[in-house]
Amino acid sequence: MIVFHAEASLLQNPPTFFRHGRLMPHPETAERYRVLRAAVEGAGHDLRLAGDTGEGPIRAVHNADYVDFLRTAWERRGELKNIGEELLATQFPRVGMDARPVGLQGQLGFYLGDTSTTIRQDTWAAAYGSAQVAVTAADHAAVAGGVTYALCRPPGHHAYAGYGSGFCYFNNAAIAAQRLRERLGGPVALLDIDVHHGNGTQGIFYTRADVLTLSIHADTSNYFPFYCGYADETGAGAGEGYNINVPLPHGSGDDVWLAAIRDGLARIAAFAPVALVVSLGLDASAEDPIGALKVSTDGFRQAGAHIAAAGHRTVLIQEGGYLCEALPRNLTAFLAGMAG
């Protein structure tokens, strides 16, 4: 399988984040890229560096003011006193607080949704490079068809049009889906099997009927992203009926997860898309350090086989999945399942 990647994924390596009253190791590290890349190299896949298509494909999904903020925030750090290695929001707007402040501290809360998603020296370079991996994979798939894997890092599916959150800055899967939509002219489906609800992706396409979004995830009533991910979120306006959420009970294993994937693929087949984008989180693993489901390595292999059997032109976008012994073998098992 052709695998696109970018060395920029080695940048922006947050050591810690503040949690439960202490500094904890940050799960979303550059080491994830090294481990996932070594896994696909070891499995004999065809690795290629992503190209650079500029900011156009990013701006097709994200608001211009958010893109500009992300590019310039670190350079603006002199606006704040005594700044350390990262810029972190201290206030977040609530519903009804809609004004965009001019100063950097207020904008950090305006453009970043939580305290685990910060701005560091190389955040822009890493997020931009990750998005280019998604665009390159989509462009390849638009021409060649088949299955392409985009080894994106940092991940993307918690990023909305106007702000980042959940370790995500640019929504790589949404960028790929929009690119395929433009290049192929037909409807595109997005299947998100990361253990976390794909809330950013849902938000980006919520009022659109031309991109079907379907997320299978651990129930969010006591799990990130908490405030959405429920089955009654079905889309709005022209998009009514084109967003599907499948929350699963925590601790669910292969049977429940694979049944949800099979049902999801049936819904997607009925939509008849010209391309499928898969938000491929590997954090549904039983061994994932921040996961909530119990999917096995063979479960990932079967998931790949089911998705391949659906027969769509497919772009796989790497999302979450955190360092543990099973992480590299779950990726190679999924890709082996896709390859048949």
Residues that bind ligand Q9C (CB under 6 A): 19, 27, 116, 155, 158, 166-168, 194, 196, 224, 281, 283, 290, 319-320
- d(Cα 174, Cα 58) in Å, to the nearest integer? 9
Assess contact for 244 and 264: CB atoms under 8 A: yes
104 vs 191, beta carbon nearer ligand Q9C: 191
User: Among residues 5, 45, 157, 158, which one is catalytic?
Assistant: 158
187 vs 320, beta carbon nearer Zn ion: 320
Please list, in sequence order, all residues whose beta carbon lies within 8 angstroms of the beta carbon of residue 98, skipping any fewer than 6 positions away: none
- Cα 246-167-251 angle, rounded to 5 deg: 40
Q: What count of other Cβ atoms lies within 10 Å of the Cβ of residue 224?
A: 20
Question: Which residue, judged by CB position, is nearest to ligand Q9C in the bound state?
Answer: 320
225 prior amide bond cis, ω within 30: yes
Strands (E), the chain: 2-5, 16-19, 22-25, 46-49, 147-150, 188-192, 211-218, 243-248, 275-280, 314-318
Q: Which does 167 bind (CB under 5 to 8 A by kind): ligand Q9C, Zn ion, none?
A: ligand Q9C
- d(Cα 191, Cα 279) in Å, to the nearest integer? 6
What minimum distance in Å lies between the beta carbon of 75 and ligand Q9C? 26
What minimum distance in Å lies between the beta carbon of 241 and ligand Q9C? 26
5 vs 158, beta carbon nearer ligand Q9C: 158
Q: Which does 116 bind (CB under 5 to 8 A by kind): Zn ion, ligand Q9C, none?
A: ligand Q9C
Question: Which residue, judged by CB position, is nearest to Zn ion in the bound state?
Answer: 320
Q: Which does 168 bind (CB under 5 to 8 A by kind): Zn ion, ligand Q9C, none?
A: ligand Q9C
- Respond yes or no: is residue 217 known to be catalytic: no
19 vs 100, beta carbon nearer ligand Q9C: 19
Contact residues: Zn ion, CB under 5 A: 194, 196, 281, 283, 320
25 vs 54, beta carbon nearer ligand Q9C: 25
What minimum distance in Å lies between the beta carbon of 155 and ligand Q9C? 4
Q: Which does 158 bind (CB under 5 to 8 A by kind): ligand Q9C, Zn ion, none?
A: ligand Q9C
Lookup result for tokens 């699963």: 248
Strand partners, 314: 147, 276
What minimum distance in Å lies between the beta carbon of 157 and Zn ion? 7
Q: Which does 299 bind (CB under 5 to 8 A by kind): ligand Q9C, Zn ion, none?
A: none
154 conformational bin, left if phi > 0, alpha if psi -120 to 50, beta if neither: beta
254 vs 283, beta carbon nearer Zn ion: 283
Strand partners, 48: 4
What minimum distance in Å lies between the beta carbon of 28 and ligand Q9C? 7
First-to-last alpha carbon distance for the chain, in angstroms, is 11
What minimum distance in Å lies between the beta carbon of 169 and ligand Q9C? 11
Q: Which does 33 bind (CB under 5 to 8 A by kind): ligand Q9C, Zn ion, none?
A: none
- d(Cα 286, Cα 185) in Å, to the nearest integer? 39
271, 215, 128, 86: CA torsion to nearest 10: 160
- d(Cα 93, Cα 105) in Å, to the nearest integer? 12
- Active-site positions read 158
